[in-house]
Amino acid sequence: MNSKIINYLGIDWGEKRIGLALGDNEIKIATPYKVVGGVDEIIKIIKDEDIDAVVIGKPLRMANADLRMSDEYSEFVNLLKKKVNISIKFVDERLSSKAADALVGDKKTKAPRDAVAAMLILQTYLDKIDPISKK
């Protein structure tokens, strides 16, 4: 059975920095990639890395209700939707930054916190998708 490998880009959005991670539906392991400053850099990465789908962290409250999305977050998501013609998925990002802090350790040898948070967001999604053989 020849199933297509789907390449994912995980995104941890922040007002100052945007963390990115890469993964696919075959290996299903997210890895920190880099930190960027805006949508144009993300568009280039989507093209360069042959990305098929984007997974963005969605801010939620601990009580499971949506936070009121900041205007900047909503603007970012809407701009990305306009500029790319690929699937965009959302994943609960509660505590991803705290978990990233626990994993980052020494800044000289580890991936940046925002990229690690993006990795955790993407890994959450990858852990929930069905294996290729079941599709």
* pLDDT for res 60: 63
Q: What confidence tens digit (pLDDT) does each residue in 66-110 have?
A: 555 578 888 999 999 999 999 999 987 755 555 555 555 555 545
Q: What confidence tens digit (pLDDT) does each residue in 17-48 have?
A: 999 999 999 999 999 999 999 999 999 999 99
In the chain the domains, ranked by start, together with CATH numbers, are 7-129 (3.30.420.140)
Indicate the residue type of 114.
Answer: D
CB 55 within 8 A of CB 41: no
Token representation of residue 33: 């990639």
| C-alpha 101: how far from chain center | 17
Residues whose CB is less than 8 angstroms from the CB of residue 110 and which lie 6 or more positions away in sequence, other chains included: 103, 104, 116
Helix (H) or strand (E) holding 119: helix 113-128
Using a 10 angstrom Cβ sphere, with 0-12 exposed, 13-18 middle and 19 or more buried, the burial of residue 76 is buried
Q: Which pTM does this prediction carry?
A: 0.80
Residue among 108, 87, 122 at smallest CA distance from 13: 122
* pLDDT for res 88: 96
